[in-house]
Copies of this chain bind each other. A is one copy, B any other.
Amino acid sequence: MNATSVIENLANTARMAARTLAGSTSEARNQILLNIADELEKNLEAILEANQKDMADAKASGMNQSLQDRLLLTKARVESMANAARQITKLPDPLNKVLVERNLDNGLNLKQKTVPFGVVGMVYEARPNVTVDAAVILIKSGNAALLRGSSSAANSNKVLIEVMRRAFNKTDISPDVIQLVPSDDRSSVTALLTARGYVDLVIPRGSASLIRMVVDESTVPTIETGAGVCHVYVDKSADLEKAIPILINSKCNRPSTCNAAETLLVDKSIADKFLPIAFKALADANVVINTDKASKVIADKLGIATKLATEESWSTEYGTLEINVGQVDGVKNAIDHISKYGTKHTEAIVAEDKEAIEIFSNLNDCVAVMINTSTRFTDGEQMGFGAEIGISNQKLHARGPMGLEQMTTTTWIVSGNGQIRK
């Protein structure tokens, strides 16, 4: 059977199974999540054993250390997956919420209510925890899940899905709402991305190249996640006591994430005052520094090693302890720089001047504006979503962290008594 038929069959099976979810109560869906948590803990050894096979293959193939770390499952990580599933049972049911109700002059009653998407595909890389995190969010929101993880995590994902499917025993919901998509080769991804009419939504999670491939190849609607070239702009009105911790936290707290900062922009009128302390703090945190010419002069005087930033530097998402530092002429010029090199993700301003803050908030076109706080707060858990399936970096449907509500669509229920249109 070719990849297209495989996906169409999986999606059809998932769609029929999704009907058992669509008609289910919130309690029934929560029970599945609690069962999943229990099964994960009960089958800890089998999970770790499968993961060890993936780890051995990864080492043999020379996978880099940071990817290996993402691939690794430990007792603590499995327990954390189980506890996350339990936490999600405490969140409100996102389904059947009436968002709009109208009574029209002709007597028609209109209700717009939330309903599941139906069949949702996930395409993701190394981390096997996404298999569980995505499945529980999708089940709670009434969706069937087609899970296409990385081939490097194939053994881990297979066992995780088998274990999760046991959670449906003795319930009215079909285990077929969770489907493993083969990861032997790329053809299954292409088939998933073009299964229009079979799959309602595909969410990619992973590298910029994965996301670009999804955007280019997909005919199924997708939600773009990812790429973040985020900036910290320090205004001339900034409280510099706040600026340094915000800068260091934005860059260094977890540099591999999309909400980490890649560039510091400083109002040139305070460069002489601020940059020396900023450079020192960055150097102390082992951050590699790329600067514009004017700022390099300041660093050189202090004897702090820097490289001259190239045109490419400004649009690079380092994902490591490396940063660009540049001077701008006020808040509007900062926005010009951000518009040119940014990815519309998270932009921070450190300022006390209300007008500068207002201009920065209104003219930046991005997922989130951080005022006197770290870029790292663009995060579902930090922002009170309770659970996160990814951070949307597009404008359609959802922008920013996506939780349960974002995994629903709507339908209109129009009730009449024989009304016809004139």
Chain A interface (Cβ < 8 Å from any Cβ of B): 19, 22-23, 102, 104, 108, 110, 112, 115, 117-118, 196, 200-201, 215-216, 219, 221, 223-224, 239, 241-242, 245-246, 248-249, 253, 361-374, 376-379, 382-384, 394-397, 399-400, 409-421
CB distance B399 to A411 under 8 Å?
A: yes
Contacts A23-B362, A110-B384, A200-B395 given; indicate if A372 touches B411 (C-beta within 8 A).
no
A94, chain B: closest CB distance, angstroms: 14
Query: 18 pairs across A/B with beta carbons < 8 Å?
Result: A19-B363, A104-B384, A110-B384, A117-B395, A196-B215, A216-B219, A239-B418, A245-B420, A248-B420, A249-B420, A249-B421, A368-B411, A370-B414, A371-B415, A373-B418, A383-B414, A399-B410, A400-B412
A38 and B400 alpha carbons, distance in the complex (Å):
41
Copies in the complex: 2
Contacts of A201 in B (CB 8 A): 395-396
A112 (CB) vs chain B CBs: closest residue = B400
Main secondary structure of the interface of A (DSSP, over half): mixed
A396 and B156 alpha carbons, distance in the complex (Å):
31
The listed residue (B22, B216, B394, B417) touching A221 by CB distance below 8 A is: B394
A158 and B376 alpha carbons, distance in the complex (Å):
48
CB distance B416 to A371 under 8 Å?
A: yes
CB distance B414 to A373 under 8 Å?
A: yes
A361 and B378 alpha carbons, distance in the complex (Å):
37
CB distance B242 to A102 under 8 Å?
A: no
Contacts A118-B395, A395-B221 given; indicate if A372 touches B418 (C-beta within 8 A).
yes
A422, chain B: closest CB distance, angstroms: 8
A103 (CB) vs chain B CBs: closest residue = B384
A416 and B361 alpha carbons, distance in the complex (Å):
13
A138 and B115 alpha carbons, distance in the complex (Å):
28
Contacts of A409 in B (CB 8 A): 395-396, 399
